[in-house]
Structures are given as C-alpha cells and as structure tokens.
Amino acid sequence: DVKVTQSSRYLVKRTGEKVFLECVQDMDHENMFWYRQDPGLGLRLIYFSYDVKMKEKGDIPEGYSVSREKKERFSLILESASTNQTSMYLCASSSARREQFFGPGTRLTVL
C-alpha cells in the first residue's frame, strides 16, 4: 500500500513564526504536491515537484516555499506565518500521469 505521512496532524503557531510541514512517501514516486483545503474553496495547489531539487509553483504559491532534497521527502515552508494561512494542508504523491495519493493532512492554526 502507498503510504504518505505528514509530520503533524495538528499545529498551532503564532503570527510571524517560521513553519515547516514535512511530507514523506514510501512508493518511490517522482511527483509530490502540496495543497491547502479551505471550506468553499476546495483543494488549491500551492507547489509541486517532479524530481529532486525541482519545484514548480501551483495556483497559490505566495507566502510559501518548498524544499525537496530527497526523492521521498517534500517540505512546505511558511517563512512568516500569517492568520490567513490557517488551513488544512495536504501532501500528495504520484508516479508519472497516475493517480495521486494523499497524506492524512495537517490542520494548521496561526494565532
């Protein structure tokens, strides 16, 4: 079974803090994705990566950065957290042109 794990299920941070969200997949997938999910707005793509050290902006990259130093790990970084970044963050992975498999999500609250 494909397994995608995320470092935290729930996270509470203060405005201005630097936040790291980690994602690890165990299926040797080339592609990894970060989404945020908000009520009424659905899933929105923040960044994705199709190879180690490669990254591409998604639909809403502002305020975020990513890092992919190893194939199995994809990190999302909030350089200076703001209250409008309170959301559910979902990581996913896939092989080429195949379905995406999601992690359990991290519910981030920024106070």
Partner 1 sequence: QKEVEQDPGPLSVPEGAIVSLNCTYSNSAFQYFMWYRQYSRKGPELLMYTYSSGNKEDGRFTAQVDKSSKYISLFIRDSQPSDSATYLCAMMSWNAGNMLTFGGGTRLMVKP
Interacting residue ranges for partner 1, rule: CB under 8 A: 4, 31, 42-43, 45, 48, 50, 88, 90, 94, 96-105, 107
Q: Which is nearer to partner 1, 2 or 77 (CB)?
A: 2
Strands (E), the chain: 4-6, 10-13, 19-25, 31-38, 42-49, 56-57, 64-70, 73-78, 87-94, 101-102, 106-110
Shortest Cβ distance from residue 80 to partner 1 (Å)?
26
Q: How far is residue 88's CA from residue 44's CA, in Å, rounded to a whole number?
A: 11
DSSP-derived secondary structure for 74-92: EEEEESS--GGG-EEEEEE
Shortest Cβ distance from residue 1 to partner 1 (Å)?
11
Shortest Cβ distance from residue 93 to partner 1 (Å)?
10
Shortest Cβ distance from residue 15 to partner 1 (Å)?
24
Q: Which is nearer to partner 1, 53 or 97 (CB)?
A: 97
Q: How far is CA 60 from the centre of its chain?
A: 12
Q: Which is nearer to partner 1, 10 or 15 (CB)?
A: 10
Q: Which is nearer to partner 1, 18 or 98 (CB)?
A: 98
